[in-house]
Structure 1
Amino acid sequence: MTQMATETDSQSSSEEIDWRSESSSAEMTRRDRAEEFYRRWVYEPVVIAWSDVRTRLGILILGGYLLMAAVDVFGLWRNPSTNQAPQLLPPFENWSFPLGTTNSGVDLLALIIDSTPFILLMVLAGGVWATSLAVVVGTVSGYKGGRVDTAITSVSDFFMAIPGLPLVIVLAIALSPENPILLGVVLTINYWAGLGRSIRSQVLSIREASYVEASRTMGTSTPRIIVKDVLPNIMPYVMVNFVLAARYTIFASVGLYFIGVLPYTGQNWGVTLNNAYYQGGLFTTEALHWLLVPMIAIVGLAFGLILLSQGMDRIFNPRVRTRLSGESESVEEDENTTTTGMF
């Protein structure tokens, strides 16, 4: 009996050791997964982005606009509606008003800062709405095919057939949107259709690739195949078009504010352009800075977005990631060794 008890105790202790080792290995697996996630989605994108001059410059430019938005949100600069200064003060003459003033003595820098949060929210909403809907429509239509593809393509063709600018003008007059998120959606209401068709054409070729066929053979679900195999291959194209949609939102809003279609508020650079144009900014040198300051703000934001999109292509490029991990160097060494052996 004593021997049997001893064997039972030893067996239970060994089972406890096995259980501890299994839990330790499971814990290590979770840790490894966390480290892999950090390396793949945080460390490598940051290193690749910062290694490109264009991306660094784009980040710095957009960081400047985010800083101006933060200054306005926290009230760190004067409110343009309560500010009175010398009329048409030139820029860099009085550092209390570094960008000069309007013919009413309003600080131009205060006007630009006051408009920045509204502009950024509108641009983000328009870009996210257009690209997100286009990605969903294009990937599902291109991958599923059949009746699903026919139905989605018909809807996309319908929206593509509607002239974009007249539709936006009608919706802007009918809705008079003052919320920046709603305004961004209205401005890109049918922008997604053409982008969705372009994404669909790319997905049609990707779904015939060998690795996608292998995933289907192994019984992988359609959503997982789209997320793991299809989307990573089209992300550079999607990011570039996100920037194009954001830039379109900027120019469309400024143009519609300029011609007076959208609600006339001070929270847009188009309103500042309109005031400068109709009050002599284009015809007198004294008011020229009043016209140039909002134009520089518009071009600067679009330029920063373009530089960032060019850097995004490097982030999603698998060759750059391979070079970062050092695998390409070993491949090159093998190729050089093979070439040397041949000669």
Structure 2
Amino acid sequence: MSELILETSTASMRRNFWRGVWRVMKRKPSRMAGVVILLGFTVMAVIGPLFYPENLPYDPNAKYAPISWEHWFGTDGQGKDVWAQLVIGSRYVLLSALVTGVITVVVGAGLGLFSGFKRGRWDTVLMRLTDMKLTIPGLPLLLVLSTVWSFGSAIEMGLVLGLLGWGGVARAVRSQTLSLRERGFIEAARGLGLSTTHIVGKELLPTMAPYIAMNMLVAVTGAVYAQVGLFFLGVLPYEADNWGVMLNLAVFGGGAMTTTAALPYLLAPLLAILLLTLGIVLVVDAMDEIFNPRLREE
């Protein structure tokens, strides 16, 4: 009977949670705009490249052609359409960022939840492991790895970035878990003798979902900056379509900083990164209010 009451209470909390999410999203139109932006980039990355050939055609007679209805962002130094390159490159950027976010959340949140709930020796061991991870400098390690690894696959890039970025999430989730651990519904679940897996997966995780989702979006943003920056600096070979490669070629190959001919080639990926970041920030704003009830407006 007690288990039935607990399950009913949990189901009611979940329904109220999703209703609250919808109210928070509707409260500010900018938040819905953020969702639309992220959905737009997702569609572009999944479907967009299907409309273009594997090797884009180029026209030597149309180098750095100006913006027109035929070429929305002009062409590059080989006469290739910049918009097509932007769409094709979005798949690598977003897929690697998504893989990074998933790995960061799965590893970081998993360790944080388990460590914060179990306490004792498990907590000590896992947090010392996390502290060791946080001391590893990410950028220098990536530069070293780039000498032996081309990162031609988006999944490879996301895997490496994810394994380098879970430490902060583990620490943050552990802190939240320590606070929730003493709540009444967790004490009731423990009093009923429910397993650790059940309590963490069915009680703690749904409560922590907004906070974990917010951390995932932040990890996605960091992954976009990291990979684009590596390709822009030229430390990775140009074996993948990427916005960072476009920035590198526009600045160092087309002289976009000194001439206006290659400026659209530079602005296209910059605007895409800015718009993607804006969408993530708007959604994170909603997640922040969902997670922190004190920020909810009456």
TM-score scaled by structure 1? 0.75
Partner residue of 2:251? 277
User: Aligned partners of 1:123, 1:195: CA distance in 2, in Å?
Assistant: 16
User: Aligned partners of 1:213, 1:79: CA distance in 2, in Å?
Assistant: 57
Secondary structure of 1:252 counterpart: helix
Q: Which moved more, 1:136-145 or 1:284-293?
A: 284-293
Asked if structure 2 preserves the Cα contact closer than 8 Å seen for 1:125 and 1:185, the reply is yes
Secondary structure of 1:81 counterpart: coil
Asked if structure 1 preserves the Cα contact closer than 8 Å seen for 2:92 and 2:240, the reply is no
1:40 is displaced (CA, Å) by 6.5
Matches within 5 A, 1:88-237: 88-91=64-67, 94-237=68-211
Q: Tell me whether 1:255 sits opposite 2:255 in the alignment.
A: no
Q: Which moved more, 1:146-155 or 1:221-230?
A: 221-230
User: Aligned partners of 1:187, 1:319: CA distance in 2, in Å?
Assistant: 33
Asked if structure 2 preserves the Cα contact closer than 8 Å seen for 1:115 and 1:269, the reply is yes
Greater length-normalized contact order (CA 8 Å, ≥ 6 residues apart): 2
Deviations 1:210-234 (A, max 9, x none): 2211221121221221123322333
1:108 is displaced (CA, Å) by 0.7
Partner residue of 1:288? 263
Tell me which amino acid in the other structure corresponds to 1:296: L
Partner residue of 1:56? 32
1:52 is displaced (CA, Å) by 3.7
1:180 is displaced (CA, Å) by 0.7
Asked if structure 2 preserves the Cα contact closer than 8 Å seen for 1:123 and 1:249, the reply is yes
Partner residue of 1:299? 274
Residues 283, 185 of structure 1: CA spacing in aligned structure 2 closer, same or farther, 3 A cutoff? same
Partner residue of 1:83? 58
Residues 160, 110 of structure 1: CA spacing in aligned structure 2 closer, same or farther, 3 A cutoff? same
Tell me which amino acid in the other structure corresponds to 2:96: M
User: Aligned partners of 2:14, 2:49: CA distance in 1, in Å?
Assistant: 32
Residues 45, 236 of structure 1: CA spacing in aligned structure 2 closer, same or farther, 3 A cutoff? closer
Q: List gaps (5 residues or longer) in structure 1.
A: 1-31, 329-343
Asked if structure 2 preserves the Cα contact closer than 8 Å seen for 1:99 and 1:108, the reply is yes
2:214 alignment partner, one of 212, 216, 240: 240
Tell me which amino acid in the other structure corresponds to 1:184: G
Q: How many residues align?
A: 287
Partner residue of 1:335? none
Partner residue of 1:312? 287
User: Aligned partners of 1:176, 1:291: CA distance in 2, in Å?
Assistant: 24
1:64 is displaced (CA, Å) by 2.1
Tell me which amino acid in the other structure corresponds to 1:291: L
Asked if structure 1 preserves the Cα contact closer than 8 Å seen for 2:153 and 2:240, the reply is no
User: Aligned partners of 1:190, 1:81: CA distance in 2, in Å?
Assistant: 34
Rg larger for: 1
Residues 38, 201 of structure 1: CA spacing in aligned structure 2 closer, same or farther, 3 A cutoff? closer
1:51 is displaced (CA, Å) by 4.8
